[in-house]
Structure 1
């Protein structure tokens, strides 16, 4: 059924974008046309993947990225800022960009915060699928997302009744955040919410199928997931073909495997002290280190002269670098988490917000790493936990077992199969 046009509407960081690029490339290889609708910051990445780009956001790129990240990852006010003040407030501009393109498309795939795409999927004649990029999005009573507070998480996982309490609380607290979306729906002559519910929760899950685009190592779809949910496995996209820069490759060749520290693409500006504490942790462990700053601004916050055995890079392909690491310290973004699993390396996760505490808890339950909340991330604590996982043969063995599982997954193929099936049904 080659020759169809699929629109992928995504709102978020590179971690939200990359799975779509993997699936988009698979669809293009099958003869389809794919348009990725996203914020302007993703234009170059989409073009590099060989896919068409559509600017579907009226949100300007922040001038002060550190201040923006501090707001976005504030433990209490951050989620409201991202959902209400960014994604929901952008719904009209996004709809105006998406609607003409989708009028001629055969399918649309949307993410959690792609509110305009959800409206188009609900009301249009095209096939509509949604993507869930981490287990926490389901807000399941049977598999409640971890909050990062051990006693509360143990209580919630005690029974579906307890787990359901967290979901009800979250839906109540966040309902006002999507008021701009409800108002916009009314302006289109639609009910304030879809038949499925609030757009940030049940309403995000599509009529024609839900793609759980992550490894089943992180969790199978729970019993209360939407009926047409299909877990795909990791939808892996490796920009640059997993090639390491010459300087980094030479550093790796010159000594023992280093500890790799990274805050991914979204949280990188949220932890100003993370890189400095990480250097001290590696010194305490007498281990070499690779620090990924994520941006020139973060590199500028480090001393100009670094200790021997410490290499700083703005970015490196996670798959290729993690495979040569002794351990990986990261923020718990679902993409980074899966790359660390794929590399088969012990992990220390320092979650900052959103789904990251839940991803971190899943790493710990798999027995392949430990968790240290970002607010408690200090060199001595990080060093102690790293010493623990690096010296535990059982952790090493379980990490290697997980790698063999995830390396066999082909999420992009399964997702493309599901999208094609949905288009045939329409």
Structure 2
């Protein structure tokens, strides 16, 4: 295929970025030009991957990351804040930044909250594809996402009718959140919503195909997935600096495999209590621990810690998790995949968004347990970790899951699907 220009438009944390860096490098190796539209904080990561970058967001990086994370991950108000007050409110600025880059794009690939990218894809004469990074995004009636409320989740999975009710209820509750997007569409002379519907739900799915960029281990495609959906497998990106620093390597080499505690790249900023409880859980277990604090400020606020604990702002998850005895994490889709790939048991502490569903899928695989964030306490974590670390069957299942995940090549499969869609040709609006 002759070289083409592919634009990725993504909104979110590293978990929403890294899969596109993996696919982008695969496409670049095939001779294509790739531009990634993302938040300014991702500029360096995109450059490191050797891809083009455009700042596709007018949202300023918060000065107080802890306060921002607490607001974004509030169990009731967090989703509305992220969707309405951040992503939807940013649609005009994002459109202005992306439009010049997309004029010569042969393909545009968008994510759930990339509302401006969705409009540009819909109105493009080129190929428009959308990406689904975790199973819950489909909001399937046949495979309803877990909410984190155990009895309710069991009820929902009892029949597709209940799952369909959840989908209708979610669409009704969140319909006002995308009002800024509908208003902006009208200013462009477009219908308030696309043919698919609300852009936060079914309207996000592109006309030329949907890329389900997660491992089949987490679930097969639901029967009610959009037409022309391809389950590609996980698109793993390992940064060039994915080696562990000397001090952390020395700590790992000096004793038994530790329990690793992390809340990813976003929720961690509101995680001081989580980290303190985690240190106490490790003490109760008489286990070594590695804490990923997300920032030097939070690391310093923890004060002194025992020599059996190592605290660091960030470490490559892939390299670190392979050295762990178990991993305690928030259930973000990228971290969930890395924990599965490491073949270590997980204790998942979901905070919001897709995390309760990812956590439930880990539990159904038999490779981990779930402890909701609001219930996270040292004694509870210690009990669950003791069970996970002592169960040979859980460890065996985790290793078998790792063997399956390591042979997936989601980046290649996704690049094949994008090239195939471009070969078929986009459709004029």
Describe the superposition over 1:284-336 as per-residue Cα deviations: whole angstroms up to 9, x where unpaired: 00000000011122212201x21011001111111111001000000000100
Mapped pair 1:380 → 2:379: yes
Q: Which whole-Å CA distance do the structure 2 matches of 1:295 and 1:112 have between them?
A: 27
1:56-79 Cα shifts (integer Å, max 9, x gaps):
111111111111111100000000
Alignment of structure 1 residues 17-416 onto 2, 5 Å: 17-240=17-240, 242-303=242-303, 305-416=304-415
Residue 55 of structure 1 and its aligned partner are, at CA, apart by 0.8
Query: Deviations along 1:329-387, whole A, 9 cap, x unmatched?
Result: 00000100000000000010000000000000000000000000000100000000000
Confirm or deny that 1:12 pairs with 2:15.
Answer: no
Q: Any conservation in 1 of the 2:143–2:157 contact (CA below 8 Å)?
A: yes
Do 2:351 and 2:373's aligned partners in 1 also have CA atoms closer than 8 Å? yes
> Are the counterparts in 1 of residues 19 and 235 from structure 2 also a CA contact under 8 Å?
yes
Equivalent residues of 2:272, 2:302 under 8 A apart: no
Q: Deviations over 1:70-90 (max 9, x none)?
A: 110000000000000000000
The answer (yes or no) to whether the contact 1:2–1:30 under 8 Å persists in 2 is no
Offset of residue 220 of structure 1 = 1.0
Structure 2 Cα separation of the partners of residues 370 and 96 of structure 1: 44
- RMSD (CA atoms): 0.7
Alignment check: 8 A CA contact 1:240 1:317 kept: no
- Mapped to 2, the partners of 1:287 and 1:139 lie a distance apart of 39
Number of equivalenced pairs: 425
Distance 1:232 1:301 in 2: 42
Shift of 1:2: 3.5
Please state how far the C-alpha of 1:209 moved relative to its aligned partner: 0.9
Give how far 1:241 is off: 5.0
Q: Which runs of 5+ in 2 are unaligned?
A: none
| Higher mean C-alpha displacement, 265-274 vs 283-292 | 265-274
Secondary structure of 1:269 counterpart: helix
Distance in 2 of aligned mates of 1:130 and 1:35: 15
TM-score (norm 1): 0.99
Q: Within 2, Cα distance between the matches of 1:299 and 1:166?
A: 40
- Contact kept? 1:131, 1:213, Cα under 8 Å: yes
Could you say what secondary structure the match of 2:2 adopts? coil
**CA deviation map 1:19-66 (0-9, x unaligned):** 000000000000000000011011111111111110111111111111
For residues 91 and 240 of structure 1, what CA distance do their matches in structure 2 show? 32
The residue matched to 1:240 in structure 2 has which SS?
Answer: coil
Rounded Cα–Cα distance in structure 1 between residues aligned with 2:357 and 2:307? 35
Offset of residue 396 of structure 1: 0.6
Q: How far does the alpha carbon of each residue in 1:102-134 deviate from its partner, in whole angstroms, 9 at most, with x for none? A: 111100000000000101111111100000000
CA distance in 2, matches of 1:368, 1:104: 46
Measured against aligned partners, the alpha-carbon deviations of 1:175-213 in whole angstroms (never above 9, x if no partner) come to 000000000001100000000100000000011111111
Q: Give structure 1 regions of 4+ aligned residues with deviation exceeding 6 angstroms.
A: none
Q: Is the contact between residue 9 and residue 110 of structure 1 (CA under 8 Å) also seen in structure 2?
A: yes
| Residue 258 of structure 1, CA deviation | 0.3
Between the aligned partners of 1:270 and 1:72, the Cα distance in structure 2 is 10
Whole-Å Cα distance in 2 between the matches of residues 63 and 230 of structure 1?
39
